[in-house]
Amino acid sequence: MHLGILKVDSVRDEFQATYGDYPDMFERLLRKADSSLRVSVYDAQHGELPAPDACDGFLITGSRDSVYDDLPWIPPLIDLLGELRERRVKVAGICFGHQLIAHFFGGRVGPAEQGWAVGVHRVELVRELDWLDGDVSGLSLLSSHKDQVLDLPPDAELYATNSFCPLAGFTVGDHTVTIQGHPEFRTEYARELMGFRRDLLGEQVYQSGVDSLAQEVEQDKMGRWLVNFFRGGIANT
């Protein structure tokens, strides 16, 4: 399977030597579930976009930008996503990618009244999907966002929710899946990122986020589910 990663942000220079860039994080995550996976990276933030048939599926990374910002690289990316949707090519949207798909295909995104979500957040899974396996009652992932999906696109179906972020994950048909959390993050990177943003977050949010890092995080489970999604179901083992 050949997966294209649509990169829409970069890890800060001072963290890259330790953690790599966002595509590196995703590649490590997904290759843990499927070592045969072939990955190509496209720097969509700097205008590098693939042909719609270049890969078997595509994943949109997170970004520090907001989907409603007037940025020159967003409209061409939306054009590509529209073409992928018409062709029913599989697409996964993570954090910013989740919001991007919602915002530009009939939903609504904006700052959350609750403020920043950082640290470990658990969502309840409210639908059965053929690419889920193992414990499907919920999923705990690291989060880092101040925007949320406020209204789903009309053709979307919710599958992940919690009280802080009610619209935390949705699907569109069998070709699109999104999640607000960050399965590519590891605990130490989340700790460093919160430390860098401590003043922005405020002491209460920062401390709550750091304290939450003692909880279990299920990155590998979501990595496996993403591979299952791109493959069209649970692999027989």
Active site residues: 95, 182, 184
β-strand pairing of 157-161 with 117-125:
antiparallel
| Residue from 20, 19, 204, 176 nearest 105 by CA | 176
User: What SS3 state is found at 158?
Assistant: strand
| d(C-alpha 228, C-alpha 15), whole Å | 30
Buried b (16+ CB within 10 A) or exposed e, 57-92: bbbbbbbebbbbeeeebbeebbebbeebbeeebbbb
